[in-house]
């Protein structure tokens, strides 16, 4: 095995240990991609996506289904307002900046729902090409990386409680990986709240994708419910209603939390400079504007609502 491969494997194994935080894992991944040569460059983003989704399923072994349902009932209105508010704002910004309609929609959906996962789901529905997907995913990834580092600091500066920060992170940060990474850095209660709230936000992939299928696609074959959502719900049901597996759940939940950290390393190490360079100034302006608006409005909501 070459020195580059040994270095990569060693960094990944370190990120699988409790000594590696989410921010450290992402930073190591970015160093691997942008400074050192990633010997597995063609595969790490895919591996990171698989590990992320598997880890999200594992988080279900620490989330009570009754709490999830109650939270959904309590927050469905505000979640809908944020999702459709972002989609509407993104549409008008795209028109104002004269951005390609599909790229504008991908950025808006990624901001409104769950970053790369939503972009991939909607992109498959609308048959977006590789260039369009790269532009939308690249700008969302950059903002996610920034959020992972600055959100915990901003949360402490704003005096947010664990619950307030978990809600804010779940609403304002795009990707699940960065949401749970930032929340885990803030505290265990923040992670629990963020996981529940983010999962409720992710569920909007289903009606949004279905609406886009009915509007743009020729048939329903391209509509799929993300499998990791189903897995998360199944895991939560087992945790809630099958107490005989309590010992296993206590093992799987922390493993899933660390798996999310390791997935950040893989996702970061798979970033492509070409994809980042393809992000035009107008697309970046739309994405940053949306993100800033959502972050400020969400902060005001959790602080004063």
Question: 190 with 169: CB under 8 angstroms?
Answer: yes
Can you tell me the distance from the alpha carbon of 117 to that of 119, in angstroms, rounded to the nearest whole number? 5
Task: Show Cβ contacts of residue 65 under 8 Å, excluding neighbours closer than 6 positions.
Answer: 233, 236, 237, 239, 240, 241
With CA atoms as reference, report the closest residue to 131 among 162, 165, 106, 108.
Answer: 106
pLDDT given for residue 152 in this prediction:
92
Residue 9 CB coordination number (10 Å): 13
pLDDT given for residue 248 in this prediction:
92
Cα angle value 117/120/122 (rounded, 5°)? 105
pLDDT given for residue 28 in this prediction:
86
**Dmax (CA) of the chain:** 57
Can you tell me the distance from the alpha carbon of 279 to that of 49, in angstroms, rounded to the nearest whole number? 21
Please, what's the b/e burial string for 107-116 (b: 16 or more CB within 10 A of its CB; e: otherwise)? bbbbbbbbbb
Tokens 């993104």, residue located = 90
pLDDT given for residue 277 in this prediction:
66
Residue 97 CB coordination number (10 Å): 15
Can you tell me the distance from the alpha carbon of 115 to that of 262, in angstroms, rounded to the nearest whole number? 18
- pLDDT (tens digit, 0 to 9) for every residue of the chain, 305 residues total? 577 788 888 889 998 998 887 777 877 887 887 777 777 877 777 787 788 778 878 878 887 777 767 766 666 777 788 888 888 999 899 899 888 888 888 888 888 887 776 776 677 667 776 567 667 777 887 788 888 889 999 999 999 999 999 989 988 998 777 888 888 889 888 988 888 888 777 777 777 767 776 666 555 555 566 677 788 788 888 988 888 888 898 899 888 888 877 887 887 787 766 666 666 778 888 999 999 999 999 999 888 87
pLDDT given for residue 151 in this prediction:
94
Can you tell me the distance from the alpha carbon of 273 to that of 264, in angstroms, rounded to the nearest whole number? 17
Tokens 């970061």, residue located = 268
pLDDT given for residue 292 in this prediction:
92
Question: 193 with 155: CB under 8 angstroms?
Answer: no
Task: Show Cβ contacts of residue 168 under 8 Å, excluding neighbours closer than 6 positions.
Answer: 151, 155, 160, 298, 299, 302
Which 3 state secondary structure label does DSSP give 39? coil
Question: 112 with 90: CB under 8 angstroms?
Answer: yes
Question: 144 with 115: CB under 8 angstroms?
Answer: yes
pLDDT given for residue 1 in this prediction:
57
> What's the sign of the alpha-carbon dihedral 90, 91, 95, 100?
positive
Can you tell me the distance from the alpha carbon of 12 to that of 14, in angstroms, rounded to the nearest whole number? 5
Question: 106 with 128: CB under 8 angstroms?
Answer: yes
pLDDT given for residue 279 in this prediction:
62
How far apart, in Å, do the first and last CA atoms of the chain sit?
A: 56
Q: What is the pTM of this model?
A: 0.71
pLDDT given for residue 269 in this prediction:
81
């Amino acid at each position: 095995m070459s020195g580059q491969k040994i270095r990569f494997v060693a960094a990944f194994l370190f990120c699988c240990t409790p000594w590696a935080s989410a921010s450290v894992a992402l930073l190591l991944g970015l160093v691997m991609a942008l400074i050192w040569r990633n010997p597995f460059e063609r595969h790490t983003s895919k591996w990171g996506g698989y590990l992320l989704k598997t880890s999200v399923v594992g988080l279900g072994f620490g989330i009570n289904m009754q709490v999830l349902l109650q939270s959904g009932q309590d927050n469905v209105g505000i979640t809908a307002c944020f999702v459709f508010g972002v989609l509407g704002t993104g549409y008008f910004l795209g028109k104002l900046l004269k951005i390609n309609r599909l790229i504008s929609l991908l950025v808006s959906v990624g901001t409104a729902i769950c970053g790369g996962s939503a972009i991939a789901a909607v992109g498959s529905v609308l048959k977006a090409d590789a260039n369009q997907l790269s532009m939308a995913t690249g700008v969302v990834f950059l903002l996610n990386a920034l959020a992972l580092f600055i959100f915990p600091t901003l949360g402490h500066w704003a005096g947010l409680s664990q619950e307030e920060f978990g809600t804010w992170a779940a609403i304002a940060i795009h990707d699940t990986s960065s949401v749970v990474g930032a929340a885990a850095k803030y505290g265990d209660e923040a992670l629990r709240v963020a996981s529940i709230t983010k999962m409720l936000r992710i569920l909007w992939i289903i009606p949004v994708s279905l609406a886009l299928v009915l509007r743009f696609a020729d048939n329903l074959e391209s509509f799929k419910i993300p499998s990791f959502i189903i897995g998360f719900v199944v895991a939560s049901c087992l945790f809630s209603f099958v107490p005989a597996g309590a010992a296993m759940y206590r093992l799987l939940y922390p493993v899933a939390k660390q798996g999310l950290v390791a997935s950040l390393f893989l996702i970061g190490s798979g970033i492509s400079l070409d994809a980042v360079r393809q992000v035009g100034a107008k697309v970046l302006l739309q994405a940053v504007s949306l993100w800033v608006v959502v972050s400020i409005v969400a902060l005001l909501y959790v602080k004063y609502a």
